[in-house]
Chains A and B, each alone.
Chain A
């Protein structure tokens, strides 16, 4: 708790198209923390991120960003968040720079060429492809540009929906280092993933979501990582049920 708490869901209930998708989940993420949300398809992970962005009004419970109820000031909430959508597709007819410029301007941020180059280096996007249109990119290359955008937004909070999907192993490793660095510099990261091993590597805490319910939470012991085996067991046993 305290003023370091950036994200909080309190008995959050979401109904989409008449169906209860989240049934009263509660968790919170502090600044400098990486929280991984794990769960099978349709468990409600993306829905959780969307509700933090104010896209889905809760039917019960509440959601807070930096201690403020999201729906009471949606714009402020969104301004504090960099969001990486699940199927992140930027504009196909623009190159990496043009895409970044457009989305940064949308967030009313300056276009800083040096920062952009450094960030694209960090996500390992080959420099010769940066001036090519995204229609000539592979899935992983597109994902790298989208990740770069989320980082360039330089917000306090990052909501990442399956950020490593499509990335090759070395890019995944580098991404995990990146996320750790961000958290260590004080950012708050809530990421959704299917990758149990990766989640355990990077997360301070991990929530297991199943059919709209938070069925387990794991916290890394001080100075250590979360134990993969335990999460794996919990994940598969819950599924086997």
Chain B
């Protein structure tokens, strides 16, 4: 059979199908809306970052000019760290909705600052954002199911099935052309807004091509599932129910059940637990003997061992020492937290092999650098930057160098890796 003429014939036939054309438009508009909302969100985040970056230097400079010693300069100044959205984040917001992508750090104990906003956006964390990744992973398959399930059943009901097959002479080819034209239309309506947004936003070519490839493979997978079920000699409602059952199983039961299971077998301390432990450790330090704190501090910083607190009043070096000891005391929890998150993410990755919708969502989030791995990279950057701050201040505090505003030109600057 001549494939080209069959495609032309079916394309012409499909063009008379108003219901299908309506769905095509709906899918296009929803894809565009999902991408539009992602673009608005990333633009908002970029503006916030730009605004805070501009304020960062200025605020610190004005703070330093008011201070006369290293300790108060460190105490009153903020350092802006951030994880800018990637050139594809608009399509898959992923972890950016759940974990912070910016921190204004101080020289105080770090752990509390990192986990302060751990709760993120609870509503979004619960239902997920209506972004492009969500739309393609969960909504578009439903549209395909709805459009394709009765490809054959509707012809049987109308009494046309035998005539159609007898006229073409072959069984399968007609249905494959019909189904692939429809699903091809839906795929194009889905990725058109993506291509448009991608070229407007200078999304890297390889990212865009990969994303489009993933989406096509994924929707072809659903198309084949639909073809398979639609050739079943059952009534349309039966086929529809079965396909929706598959969707519910792959799209919700497997990922949600899997998440519950993973959360149970990989316990992770909560962010607020870390926050509280660290705050308590720091608060208690005020009442502890200075030696207790300093001994704990010198275990990590033997180089300042010679330092002794002068006078019985307040001492900045001791203050920052007990801030660090606060971090040291939560270290075990914090390491467990990162390890646990990594392990959960690894298992979720394995699990997603059994859930194509979850797999696509994860793949798009990886491309968008909005996955768990990316958020852990940012966390590591924050830790390294905070460590650099301590390396800058500790010699000046412990050697009691004379205060000099000029020295702040040597202050470490945060710059995001991505």
Contact = CB atoms under 8 A, between A and B. Distances in A.
Contact of A79 (B17, B163, B169): B169
A50 B163 contact: no
A87 interface: yes
Contacts of B158: 89
B159 A83 contact: no
B163 A88 contact: yes
A85 B163 contact: yes
B166 A83 contact: yes
Given A75-B170, A105-B9, A106-B168, A94 B163 contact: no
A118 interface: no
Contacts of A93: 16-18
Contacts of A102: 9, 12-13
A107 B17 CA distance: 21
Query: Which secondary structure characterizes the binding site on chain B?
Result: helix
B417 interface: no
Contact of A85 (B12, B17, B18, B159): B159
Interface string A86-111: 11111101100010001101111000
B1 interface: yes
A107 B164 CA distance: 9
Nearest to B168: A106
A81 interface: yes
B167 interface: yes
Interface in B119-161: 158-160
A108 B162 contact: no
Nearest to B163: A85
Interface in A46-87: 50, 53, 55, 74-76, 78-79, 81, 83, 85-87
B268 to A, nearest CB: 57
A74 B169 contact: yes
Nearest to A77: B169
Contact of A105 (B5, B17, B166, B169): B5
Contacts of B165: 55, 78
A86 B166 CA distance: 14
B10 to A, nearest CB: 9
B174 interface: yes
B2 interface: yes
Nearest to A94: B16
Contacts of B168: 78, 106-107
Interface residues of A, number: 27
A106 B164 contact: yes
A75 B159 contact: no
A50 B162 contact: yes
Contacts of B160: 85, 89-91
Interface string B1-30: 110010001001100111000000000000
Contacts of A90: 160
A68 B163 CA distance: 21
B261 to A, nearest CB: 44
A83 B163 CA distance: 7
Contacts of B1: 108
Contacts of A83: 162-163, 166-167
Contacts of B169: 74-76, 78-79, 107
A90 B17 CA distance: 14
Interface string B201-240: 0000000000000000000000000000000000000000
Contacts of B9: 102, 105-106
B13 A81 contact: no
Nearest to A78: B169
A89 B163 CA distance: 9
Contacts of A87: 159
Contacts of B18: 93
A103 B168 CA distance: 9
B163 A81 contact: no
A28 B59 CA distance: 100
Given A85-B162, A89-B158, A107 B16 contact: no
A1 B17 CA distance: 48
> Which residue of B1, B160, B169, B174 has the most chain A CB atoms within 10 A of its CB atom?
B169
Nearest to A74: B169
Nearest to B13: A102
A78 B170 CA distance: 9
A53 B5 contact: no
Contacts of B162: 50, 53, 55, 83, 85
Nearest to A80: B169
Nearest to B2: A108
Given A98-B16, A102-B9, A107 B167 contact: yes
Interface string A103-142: 1011110000000000000000000000000000000000
Nearest to A86: B159
A203 to B, nearest CB: 23
A76 B170 CA distance: 10
A138 to B, nearest CB: 17
A88 B166 CA distance: 13
Interface in B253-281: none
> Which residue of A55, A83, A93, A105 has the most chain B CB atoms within 10 A of its CB atom?
A105
A96 B164 CA distance: 16
A139 B170 CA distance: 29
B174 A108 contact: no
Contacts of A50: 162
Nearest to A76: B169
7 contacts: A55-B166, A79-B169, A83-B166, A85-B160, A105-B9, A106-B167, A107-B168
Given A89-B160, A106-B167, 20 more contacts: A50-B162, A53-B162, A53-B166, A55-B165, A78-B167, A78-B169, A83-B162, A83-B163, A83-B167, A85-B159, A88-B163, A93-B17, A93-B18, A94-B16, A102-B9, A102-B13, A105-B9, A106-B168, A108-B5, A153-B167
Interface of A: 50, 53, 55, 74-76, 78-79, 81, 83, 85-91, 93-94, 98, 102-103, 105-108, 153
8 smallest CB-CB distances across A and B, nearest first, come from: A75-B169, A78-B169, A87-B159, A105-B9, A83-B166, A106-B167, A85-B163, A53-B166
